[in-house]
């Protein structure tokens, strides 16, 4: 039996018809650009595993932010690559630490034209590469780390961050950061919580970008989430919302679209997703070989993350897609 009145292809006949009935529309407003700033370099340094992404100098960072602002990209997230590391990661909260210097330069350059988000973690700054300080048994110590996260949050707020983005997956980190910010008079600075962050092999290129290797060949499985779990992610998000997160995030993105979709249904706060370094690198590597059309795949992938329910997406494709979406 056929039902001619129900032909699906009727609405696919022209580009304008397809646009009219599109359920998801990706726009420049959905994009957040991750940027790296490196201390002690006088020229931007390429990152081999992230083609097109560089470790910026403070100067080139400001220039890139200006370019992105002019393209209409609403926000960036900043990561620092310090010249020196120590067991505590003290460069993370030093007022002259590279992220603080970078934030000040960004604020001076873009004013209120871009939302400045700073990643809040210790792994780029600790000599052992973990996201927190180590306890006597070499374990990542939860509560002593919270204390330091509070200091980092205040330093980043003072330097100009609109939102701080804790990515360390310590228990209670959102509450500790909220309390530290409020206590220091920064009640207006928000928390974008990496709420459901998985222990993923897709962070490989990022670790090259920030020069992090975990001591003794260790991993982050004692604090980041087990990729086999989805219900647990909803518990993590619920806790972060209770603790005062203004925005919650799922990371990585494509391998966790089920988590994004469930989180969208269950929570009313804005939901972000991080399309991470490995997700970007895979597309770039295949495109370089001529195996696929990188731009088309990028649009399809980032579009899928939005379709799953993300309100905005952190992606190394932000600049590239902004140019296309504006064009």
Distances (CA, A) of 202 to 26, 114, 210, 269, 276: 24, 28, 15, 26, 7
Measuring CA to CA, how many Å separate 165 from each of 60, 64, 168, 247, 295? 23, 21, 9, 9, 28
Interaction between residue 91 and ligand PBG (CB under 6 A): no
Q: Given the complex with ligand PBG, which of 22 and 215 has the nearer CB atom?
A: 215
Residue closer to ligand PBG by CB (options 89, 309) is 89
Among 123, 236, 243, 320, binds ligand PBG (CB under 6 A): 123
Work out which of 30, 119, 236, 320 binds ligand PBG, going by CB under 6 A. Answer: 119
Distance, CA of 180 to CA of 109 (rounded, Å):
27
Residues 268-307: x/- map of binding to ligand PBG (CB under 6 A)? --------xx------------------------------
Q: Are 86 and 94 in contact (CB under 8 A)?
A: no
88 CB-near residues (< 8 Å, 6+ apart): 122, 126, 133, 148
Indicate which single residue of 32, 62, 81, 121 sits in contact with ligand PBG (rule: CB under 6 A). 121
Of 14 and 226, nearer to ligand PBG (C-beta) is 226
* Cβ-proximal residue to ligand PBG, closest one: 206
Residue 182's CB is within 10 A of a number of other CB atoms, namely 13
Judged by CB, which is closer to ligand PBG: 149, or 203? Answer: 203
CB closer to ligand PBG out of 154 and 276:
276
| Binder among 186, 198, 203, 267 for ligand PBG (CB under 6 A) | 203
Stretch that binds ligand PBG, among 104-112, 118-126, 177-185, 265-273 (CB under 6 A): 118-126
Residue pair 82/56 in contact by the 8 Å Cβ criterion: no
Regarding 256 and contact with ligand PBG (CB under 6 A), the answer is no
What is d(CA 214, CA 224) in angstroms, rounded to the nearest whole number? 14
Q: Are 122 and 148 in contact (CB under 8 A)?
A: yes
145 binds ligand PBG (CB under 6 A): no
Catalytically active residues are 197, 251
Comparing C-alpha atoms, which of 129, 130, 168 is closest to residue 152?
168
Residue numbers at the binding site for ligand PBG (CB under 6 A)? 119, 121, 123, 167, 203, 206, 220, 276-277
């Amino acid at each position: 039996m056929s039902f001619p009145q129900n032909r699906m292809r009727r609405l696919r006949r022209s580009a304008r018809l397809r646009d009219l009935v599109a359920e998801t529309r990706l726009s420049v407003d959905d994009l957040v650009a991750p940027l790296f700033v490196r201390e002690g370099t006088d020229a931007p340094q390429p990152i081999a595993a992230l083609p097109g992404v560089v470790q910026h100098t403070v100067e080139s960072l400001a220039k890139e932010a200006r370019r992105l602002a002019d393209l209409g990209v609403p926000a960036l997230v900043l990561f620092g690559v310090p010249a020196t590391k120590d067991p505590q990661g003290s460069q993370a909260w030093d007022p002259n630490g590279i992220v603080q210097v970078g934030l000040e330069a960004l604020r001076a350059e873009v004013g209120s034209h871009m939302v400045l988000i700073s990643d809040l973690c210790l792994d780029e700054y600790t000599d052992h590469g973990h996201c927190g300080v180590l306890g006597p048994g070499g374990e990542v110590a939860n509560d002593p780390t919270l204390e330091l996260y509070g200091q980092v949050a205040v330093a980043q707020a003072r330097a100009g961050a609109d939102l701080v983005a804790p990515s360390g997956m310590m228990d209670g980190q959102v509450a500790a950061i909220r309390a530290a910010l409020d206590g220091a008079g920064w009640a207006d600075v928000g928390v974008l919580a990496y709420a459901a962050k998985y222990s993923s092999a897709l962070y490989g290129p990022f670790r090259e970008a920030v020069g992090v290797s975990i001591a003794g060949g260790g991993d982050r499985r004692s604090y980041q989430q087990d990729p086999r779990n989805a219900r647990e992610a909803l518990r993590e998000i619920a806790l972060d919302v209770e603790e005062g997160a203004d925005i919650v995030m799922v990371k990585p993105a494509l391998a966790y679209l089920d988590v994004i979709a469930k989180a969208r249904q269950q929570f009313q706060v804005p939901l972000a997703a991080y399309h991470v370094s490995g997700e970007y690198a895979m597309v770039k590597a295949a495109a370089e070989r001529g195996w696929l059309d990188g731009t088309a795949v990028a649009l399809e992938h980032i579009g899928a993350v939005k379709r799953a329910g993300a309100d905005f997406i952190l992606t190394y494709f932000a600049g590239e897609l902004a140019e296309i979406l504006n064009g």
